[in-house]
A and B are shown apart, each in its own frame.
Chain A
Amino acid sequence: MARITAGLATSHVPAVGAAIDLGRTGEPYWKPVFAGYEFTKRWIAEHMPDVVVLVYNDHASAFSLEVIPTFAIGCAESFAPADEGWGPRPVPVVQGHPELAWHIAQSTILDEFDMTIVNRMDVDHGLTVPMSLVFGQPAFWPCRVVPLAVNVVQYPPPTGHRCHELGKAIGRAVESFDADLDVMIWGTGGMSHQLQGPRAGLINREFDTRFLDRLVGEPEALAQTPHVEYVREAGSEGIELVMWLIMRGALRPDAREVHRFYHVPASNTAVGHVILENSAPPEAATRQGAQP
Chain B
Amino acid sequence: MNDYSEAFKDIPGTVVFDATHSRLGYHLNMFCMSLMKAENRAAFKADERAYLERYPMSDAQRQAVLDRDYNRMLELGGNIYFLAKIGATDGHSFQNLASQMTGMSEEAYKAMMVAGGRSPEGNRSIAERGGER
Q: Measuring CB to CB, which residues of chain A are less than 8 angstroms from any residue of chain B?
A: 14-15, 29, 59-61, 64-66, 83-86, 153-156, 192, 194-205, 207, 226-228, 231-233, 236-237, 264-265, 267-268, 270
Most chain A beta-carbon contacts within 10 A, residue among B16, B35, B41: B16
Partner of A60, one of B11, B79, B94, B97: B79
A155 near B18 with CB under 8 A, answer yes
Contact residues, B83-133 vs A (CB, 8 A): 84-85, 88-89, 93-95, 97-99, 101-103, 109, 112-114, 116-120, 123-125
Which 8 A-B pairs give the minimum distances between C-beta atoms? Answer: A203-B117, A199-B13, A85-B88, A198-B13, A196-B80, A265-B113, A201-B118, A200-B98
Q: Point out the residues of chain A lying under 8 angstroms from B81, CB to CB.
A: 59-60, 153
A153 near B17 with CB under 8 A, answer yes
Q: Point out the residues of chain A lying under 8 angstroms from B35, CB to CB.
A: 85
The answer to whether the Cβ of B8 comes within 8 Å of any Cβ in the partner chain is yes
How many CB-defined contacts (below 8 Å) exist between A and B? 149
| 13 pairs from A and B in contact (CB 8 Å cutoff) | A60-B32, A64-B33, A86-B88, A196-B14, A196-B15, A198-B71, A199-B14, A200-B98, A200-B99, A200-B109, A228-B11, A265-B116, A265-B117
Identify the closest chain B residue to A239 (Cβ).
Answer: B16
Q: Point out the residues of chain A lying under 8 angstroms from B13, CB to CB.
A: 197-200
Q: Point out the residues of chain A lying under 8 angstroms from B94, CB to CB.
A: 14-15, 195, 267-268
Docked CA distance A204–B35 (Å):
33
Cβ distance B77 to chain A, nearest Cβ, rounded Å: 10
Identify the closest chain A residue to B97 (Cβ).
Answer: A195
A155 near B17 with CB under 8 A, answer yes
The answer to whether the Cβ of B65 comes within 8 Å of any Cβ in the partner chain is no
The answer to whether the Cβ of B82 comes within 8 Å of any Cβ in the partner chain is yes
Identify the closest chain A residue to B7 (Cβ).
Answer: A228
Partner of A197, one of B15, B84, B93, B117: B15
